[in-house]
Amino acid sequence: MEQEIDRFIQAILIACDPSQVALHQQALEYLSHVQQNAHESWRLALKVFVDTDPSGQGRKYPPQARFTALRMLDEFFDNRFERLDDDTFRSLQEAILSYIQSEYVYGSAESNASFLRNKFSHTLTLFFLCTYVEQWPTFFSDLFQLIRNGDSSQPKFNRHVSLLLFHLVVEISGEVADQTLKAARTFNPVRHARDGRVRDAVRERDAALINEAVLTIVADAAERMSLLRKSGTDSTALDEVVEIVDWGVRTFASYAGWVDINLTVTPSTVPLLFSLLADPSLAIRLATSAALLRIVSKGLKEPEDKLQLIKVLSLDRVIDALEAKTRAQQIERGSDEDEGEESYREALGKLLNVLGLELSKLVEECANPQVVSEAKRLLNQVLPIMLRFMADEYDDTCCTIFPLLQAVLGTYKRNKKVTPGPLDEPTRSFLNSLLNVVLQKMRWDKDTDPADMDLDDVAAFELLRKDLRSFMDSVLTIEPDLVTQAIRTLVLNTLSSYRSGVPVEWHDAELAIYLVYIFGEISKSGGKGRAAFCLAPAVPKDKRKDVNYSEYPLTPHGEILLALVQSRISAYPHRAVVMQFFETVARYSDFFKIRKDCIMPTLEAMVGTRGLHSPDTSVRRRTYYLFHRFIREGRNDVSPELASSLVEGIRDLLAIQVDLPTLDSQEDDLLTEAIKNPGLFDHQLYIFETVGILVSLLSKAQEQQASILLSVVTPLLDDLSTNLSSVKSKEDVIPIVQVHHVIMALGNIAKGFPDYPSPVPEGYSFAPLEVFRQVSHAILVALKAMNVFKCVRDAARYAFARIIATTGSNVTDVIPPLMANLLAHFEPSELVDFMNFIGLLIHRLQKDLFDVLDELLGPLNAHITNLLSQPPTGIDDGLTHAETKRAYIGLLTNIIGSGVYGVFISERNKNSLEPLLENMCRLAQDMSDPPSQKATFAFFGRAVHVWCRPEQPREDSQQALPGFERFVYERLVPTAFAVLSSPQFNPKDGQMLMVMLEIANFLQVVYSTRKTEAHEFFVSVFLPSQGWPPHTAMEFASKLRDLDNKGFRKYFTEFVRLSRSQPS
């Protein structure tokens, strides 16, 4: 064995030495092999760990080797559920007891390698679990014999063995009773049963002895600790005793939850624990609070026993005193933060939370009225203490009582439902106090600035606000007036103080505005629209413009919004306050419809240096959107004069500046990254759209409207021309990006105008069409010159989609060259966007697009058919393949469902129709893509509706398709039934169920379109050819004829499922 040990030691030393590159992997493989064969190598591991050097004073092998040896023993013990043979057990038992005696009783307890102490306690725990029940029932007795010191000059109990005992019991408790540890481990029923047997055996044999030993050692150490503090002895001796007490209390806590309560709660333990709960040592206080928490939360069968336990402990009085004491110390420390002491307050909060939850359970679940009454009395004593913890300036402490508060409010809500009358005074008083605390805790820390805070800290505070909001919502359910009055009072007082010149701290100002912001969510009883802000009678929509809503009284929400605007608090010199103001006014645009005098001061704040013209980029970025939202929602209340003035006020914001990003990798493409991460420009697009909205409001003065629009777009067109001439190659990134940005901006200006109506009403004021034609031609010139760049093609598609939505068919002359240039250079990834773009044009232009579509359909269909015929080469390619297929089917469906379906049978395309339909049949039978199958049958249904009508309307006579019904009968109907009978078709699958329902729709369209002819086809031709009995075929055709869509879909679904469940 010596040679094997030497080899083992050498492998460990090589594995721990990074310089041994050549042998490192070989050593690791050897050690892994040895560990995997721990059932054979445990003797080697035991010897390496316990052997002493020749002098007998130290260990023979280095710490790294001994640590690895313990890991091998762990592997041997862990997951071992059968009995050890007697020789193996005796060898291990003797070696371990000998080691403990030499190292812990008479030695230094691995003082030179402290990590071995923790590892050994874990290994010994695993050995204990294997052997305690059947082979080593005297485990604890044997260990207790080693604890007491024989030397009267030494402390009564051996410090090293005491700590070993404590670590052992903590580890054992974790293994057999810690539900968190068990949940993290893969469930093993054999282990679970073994752990249960160990737990029961400890309770029966040794729980009392363990508890007595632990408490005796703790009490003795606590007494010595007190003497050492009084005598002022050196800190090392005191630290050693503190460690004993700390670990002793932790040990007590570890088993308090799973041994008999009569052992842990006695006339001697309670005073000891309470004295330690106020000990000068933070570690001891934290350990004691955890121990008391375990005791209070221990499950007891009888509610009377739980109530008696709570009364015996009288924790509410103890925590009350300690909370007051620690709060006074907190105030005395001032700005000097002590994380340790704050963690103690946090622990006290958790202890109070558990105490309150246990009382709340008794109130809610106990059937004994006397227990309920007493529990209510005790719970009411806890509530004021709970509010003091909730008001703690440290959020971690505040949050400790949230579960208790949630439970209490839940009880109040349930009681309110049962007895909906007025609240009793104590409950009302508590809710008032709670609201005061909630509102104070909703404030930011005065000494921090959200703009400078870490994102995680900001998110944590916002989560706290969300939790506090939930408590406010609960109070709102119980007593709505309390909440609305509390918010109204705080908001009006804060805003009134600011308006009067009284100094207001920034976090108070921000809170007041935030409460106005959320008031619409809180005040759910108010009306919608204007009714949320004023008490006006209902007015028909077409007469609202004639009503002077300012004559009507305001609701509470209207009051605080009016106070908000009139206070001029938007001028407050703090970013968070100003931004909260902008967020709030943008949210409640309906208020400005009843108080139009508030529009101007709000816009002045937004447009000025506090908002759109702020030197702070982050402020501008968000305000661009909020200003856009405010104008968009309130456009009907913006006069032409104000609109013109606003355009002039924001004209300087329309200059586009390219922000190039910093590349994370040399492999990244600068142009691609610049388009993906455009910086401020992404938000600036809102300003361009807003300009479009404002100019559109000048429709009654068309010359002025055209002039102002031209003055806005001319600098952009000049910028476009300048940068166009600057692009010489793809390395000219800045001018390329500038061209992209300008085209996007022009598109967003068009987006601000209303959509072109269809049909055009009498007296409609058109957008400045000549200006948009000029813009369209400029974009087309840029596209023609730069169509090799994908970003320019994307921008052109984006812009034209919006320009056409505004101008309708008035710019259709640019569409053929637009299509030519979009298709001149084409990447597969653009195909989906291009087809969606075509679909949009079909929707907007209808028959005006016929000629363009007639020319485009053939090449596009050939290209896509070829693309879809090639199998995908990877996951990404497969996703692109599927998206392209769905977009293609969607485009064909758009065409067949619009006024341009005649394009399929035009002189240019009629010879391609049958191959197109055959290709669609193949797509319909692709069982790997149910969404595309469903879309294909939807297309077939529309095609039947268009081309199978017996009598075409006169205006559609040139677009008829004689003989199409034969194709329906010979190809489409058989395709539908082939899908349903496919072995891969699973009607229980959700997506395939959708396919089946679409097939049902398709069959009904066929029947409703061809009627008697279809009936004869199903009954006499098709269904008999499929082997259907005559009566079944007749029943199916009758259902197809007689049932409505919903009824037939239900019948068809059940019919298919039943047919597939029967053996063929």
Provide the pLDDT confidence category of residue 729 given band limits of 50, 70 and 90. confident
Q: What is the pLDDT of residues 832-878, one digit of tens each?
A: 888 999 998 898 888 888 888 998 888 888 888 888 888 888 888 88
Look at residue 52 and give its three-state secondary structure: strand
Give the C-alpha separation, 176 to 194, whole Å.
9
Give the pLDDT of residue 952.
56
Contact call for residues 15 and 55 (beta carbons, < 8 A):
no
Contact call for residues 241 and 184 (beta carbons, < 8 A):
no
Give the pLDDT of residue 823.
83
Buried (b) or exposed (e) across 444-462, using 16+ Cβ within 10 A? beeeeebeeeeeeeeeebe
User: What length is written for the chain?
Assistant: 1064
Provide the pLDDT confidence category of residue 959 given band limits of 50, 70 and 90. low
Q: pLDDT at residue 664 above 70?
A: yes
Q: pLDDT at residue 73 above 80?
A: yes
Query: What's the distance, Cα to Cα, between the start and end of the chain in Å?
Result: 71
Buried (b) or exposed (e) across 473-502, using 16+ Cβ within 10 A? ebbbebbeebbbebbbebbbebbebbeeee
* pLDDT more than 70, % of the chain: 98
Provide the pLDDT confidence category of residue 954 given band limits of 50, 70 and 90. very low
- What average pLDDT does this structure show over 145-162? 82
- What average pLDDT does this structure show over 469-484? 94
Give the C-alpha separation, 594 to 870, whole Å.
62
Contact call for residues 797 and 833 (beta carbons, < 8 A):
yes
Minimal CA–CA distance to 670: which of 730, 739, 742? 730
- Winning range, highest mean pLDDT, from 10-14, 419-423, 584-588: 584-588
Give the pLDDT of residue 831.
87
Provide the pLDDT confidence category of residue 963 given band limits of 50, 70 and 90. confident
Give the C-alpha separation, 11 to 29, whole Å.
9
Q: pLDDT at residue 247 above 60?
A: yes
Give the pLDDT of residue 421.
85
Q: pLDDT at residue 822 above 80?
A: yes
Give the C-alpha separation, 794 to 739, whole Å.
12
Give the C-alpha separation, 126 to 610, whole Å.
67
Look at residue 185 and give its three-state secondary structure: coil
Give the C-alpha separation, 399 to 392, whole Å.
9
Amino acid symbol at 510: E
Give the C-alpha separation, 130 to 172, whole Å.
12
Q: Could you please report the per-residue DSSP string of 926-953? A: -TT-HHHHHHHHHHHHHHHHHH--SS--
Provide the pLDDT confidence category of residue 826 given band limits of 50, 70 and 90. confident
Give the C-alpha separation, 695 to 646, whole Å.
10
Query: How many Cα atoms within 13 Å fall on the side-chain side of residue 887?
Result: 23
- Residue 756's H or E segment, with its range, is none
Q: pLDDT at residue 525 above 80?
A: no
H helix runs in 634-768, sequence order:
640-650, 670-676, 681-696, 702-726, 733-751
Q: What is the pLDDT of residues 730-771, one digit of tens each?
A: 889 999 999 999 999 999 999 999 998 878 888 788 899 999
- What average pLDDT does this structure show over 819-833? 84
The alpha carbon dihedral of 397, 399, 402, 405 has a sign of: positive
Q: Using the structure block, give the residue that is written with the tokens 């429709």.
A: 699
Give the pLDDT of residue 547.
77
Q: pLDDT at residue 916 above 90?
A: yes
Higher pLDDT, 309 or 148: 309
Give the pLDDT of residue 522.
84
- What average pLDDT does this structure show over 942-957? 73
Give the pLDDT of residue 151.
62
Phi, psi of 334, rounded to the nearest 5 degrees: 65, -125
Higher pLDDT, 255 or 880: 255
Give the pLDDT of residue 961.
82
Give the C-alpha separation, 43 to 85, whole Å.
14
Give the pLDDT of residue 235.
81
Mean pLDDT of the chain: 91
Q: Give whole-number Cα distances, 437 to 328, 461, 970, in Å.
A: 18, 16, 76
Give the pTM.
Answer: 0.83
- What average pLDDT does this structure show over 190-200? 94
Q: What is the pLDDT of residues 21-48, one digit of tens each?
A: 778 788 888 888 888 888 888 999 999 9
Give the pLDDT of residue 153.
60
How many Cβ atoms are within 10 Å of 1032's Cβ, its own excluded? 13
Residues near 1 by Cβ (< 8 Å), separated by ≥ 6? Answer: 43, 44, 47
- What average pLDDT does this structure show over 344-364? 96
